[in-house]
Amino acid sequence: MSFPLELTAQINSHNGNFTRKFTLNRGLTVLLGPNGSGKTHLLRGLKQSLNQHMNGKHVRFLSAGRMGLLEQFRSDYDGHRGGSPRYDDATYGSKSDAARRHRMETLNGDFQTLGERADILIKIQERLRKLFKRDVLIDWDGGDLKISFSRLDIEAKPYSSGREASGLMQLVGILAALYDDEVGALLLDEPEVSLHPQLQAFLLNEILSVSGHPGAGTNKKIVIIATHSTEMLQIKSPEDLLSLVFCYDLMADPVQIPHDAGELKNKKVQSLIARLGQEHKLSLFSKRPLLVEGPSDVIICSALGGKLDMHLEAAGSQLLPVIGKGQMPTVGKLLRLLGKTPVALADADGISDGVELINSYLNDNSFADKRASSLGFSSAIQMAGAIYADYCALVDNRWSEVSPRAEVHPYWVNRKADEETQARRRSAFCALFTTDDVELSKLAKDGAWTNIKARLIALLALLEECGLFILRKGSIESYYLSSDQFTSVGKPSAAVSEIDYLNQLLPQDIHAAYSDVVRCIQYASNAEVICEADALRDLLLSVVAPAHARFKSGDSSPNFNVLARSILGERSRIFGLVVEGEKLVISIESKILNVKGFPIALGKDDDVLKSINVALSTNA
């Protein structure tokens, strides 16, 4: 038998039992997805399906928590050790445990393998000695397996494995599983745990060296890993993408690129894959990558996200600079093929130069077509094409009307001699959106410029609903408040200077100046702003409402905290309630909650809900 192999995972989850199918196209398959997306369930569920392809060999599963019970020798796990773990007591089971070593999901099974297989021990010793100046020693002490290490770069006596770095312990255990020719399939959950990036790269090479069909060689094995590390990805050709399986939710089927996908033969896609960088690999781990046009955009967007508490990465997004004009449609197409929903922040030339980028977001988009139909167009692409054609005709035929405003824009000032038509369309577009409607109406008696702006606004609004945001002022530099808007060299340094200025501004001022960018980040992050007051509000109301009722009825007892404790228990310690004159005053006692508005003073006739909402600035 050979690849591809069709597998069915039997999932036993808290949501019931079900199956998930996917294809193994080669010896190594990599599962990618955020925490909670079902990768571990999928790995564990493959055991039964893999057995039929093993030719009598074992299927081995190694969990992400594979240190297991070894931690009792490496840490003060229960607080009773006085900060001194039992390093030298570390053991790995008895002789009788060897029979179950392939069923163990922790490193105990792999160290049992070292006790059983001298040839595997030799392979690992040679690598430890040459690469890490370490040696690993096997010893049986009173029937218990003990593992010791020694350093070769200095004169020192051997020491217990309980004292060895966890990364090296993880590496030795995984290598033992990889080199074990009795194993036909190895399911590895987060092989990168505790490993330095260079160790991860070394481990990946070792994984690749043994991966294959178990019937193809003496120690070839199917390896399936679930990882959060870019170091565990090797993507050099379009075919490498076939070994990636994307998990987005346990209750949804995993996503794979079909082996016959025509997009993999696209020359632009092949060129892109050949030069994938770290940022591109990171985007493979996100659901909604945010494509921007260069390093300056990354710097500004990252700073704005932090300043305005919009957490792109935590929300499953990732800033991805796409260098080179015309590359955004290609990158977006590839990401959609991987089951992702790319968001794009493009310079104004992304719309003024043509409709390729626009169409990549509107093509086969039923939502966009429905919206365009309500505006009188047969499809969204027809709507975009008509508006774009009319815009170009207006600029080309009546340039003189808009030129006084357009010729001060960097697109015109920095134009090349052979790009005058293109520069006109670019700079005119930006002039429309940097000129108020009153002034714009004065450019032509027939209102042509005001009308085309209104049509462009309708198109831009539709595009934003589809995930494409256009910088209406030009490039990111055109939004700068402090740095030079005409900068063309040293762009990242100008962006850094701009950040220093932005850090001095109030959030509302940033929203006003960078509105196009902020809308895009809000869309990509797809998450509400973290506000601890929202989480605190219900707790606060649960104690303040009954306390205020008693206060209103004339109870002036200073001990409202007792009432609070009877309602919330220990959680009531967050608040302090006292009567001061004619007011019930609520303070916050926690020093770590970042909530403004305290203390809150309530009169007897005050509306509790309204007063608390006003104090905490919530809209509930």
Question: Is 63 contained in some domain?
Answer: no
What's the whole-model pTM score?
Answer: 0.84
pLDDT for position 260: 83
Query: Would you say residue 202 has pLDDT above 50?
Result: yes
Q: Mean pLDDT, to the nearest integer, of 119-127? A: 95
Is the domain of 165 the same as that of 235? Answer: no
Q: Which amino acid is at 568?
A: L
Q: Mean pLDDT, to the nearest integer, of 414-427? A: 93
Give the model confidence (pLDDT) of 35-76 as tens digits.
999 999 999 999 999 998 998 899 999 999 999 889 999 998
Chain centroid offset of residue 14 CA: 25
How far is 358 from 173, CA to CA, in rounded Å?
51
Is the domain of 607 the same as that of 513? Answer: no
Is the domain of 240 the same as that of 271? Answer: no
How far is 158 from 180, CA to CA, in rounded Å?
26
C-alpha dihedral, 280 to 286 to 289 to 294, nearest 10°: -40
pLDDT for position 591: 85
Give the model confidence (pLDDT) of 294-348 as tens digits.
889 999 999 999 898 888 888 788 999 987 768 899 889 889 989 999 999 999 9
Is the domain of 406 the same as that of 480? Answer: no
How far is 313 from 527, CA to CA, in rounded Å?
11
The number of folded domains in the chain is 5
Give the model confidence (pLDDT) of 72-93 as tens digits.
999 988 898 888 999 999 999 9
Question: Is 221 contained in some domain?
Answer: yes
Query: Would you say residue 590 has pLDDT above 90?
Result: no
Is the domain of 31 the same as that of 96? Answer: no
Is the domain of 119 the same as that of 34? Answer: no
Question: Is 353 contained in some domain?
Answer: no
95-99, 194-198, 387-391, 540-544: which has the highest mean pLDDT? 387-391
Is the domain of 42 the same as that of 191? Answer: yes
The number of helices, as runs of H, and strands, as runs of E, in the chain is 25, 17
How far is 358 from 340, CA to CA, in rounded Å?
18
How far is 101 from 124, CA to CA, in rounded Å?
18
Query: Would you say residue 535 has pLDDT above 70?
Result: yes
pLDDT for position 481: 93
Place of tokens 């792109």: 312
What domain range is 585 assigned to? Answer: 532-616
How far is 10 from 20, CA to CA, in rounded Å?
7
| Contact status, residue 60 vs residue 187, Cβ threshold 8 Å | yes
Residue after which a domain boundary falls, among 260, 291, 307:
260
How far is 51 from 251, CA to CA, in rounded Å?
25
Residue 54 DSSP symbol? S
Question: Is 405 contained in some domain?
Answer: yes
Is the domain of 452 the same as that of 503? Answer: no
Residue after which a domain boundary falls, among 150, 175, 200:
175
Is the domain of 521 the same as that of 538? Answer: no
pLDDT for position 620: 47
Is the domain of 235 the same as that of 280? Answer: no
Is the domain of 556 the same as that of 546? Answer: yes
Residue 130 DSSP symbol? I
Residue after which a domain boundary falls, among 260, 290, 312:
260
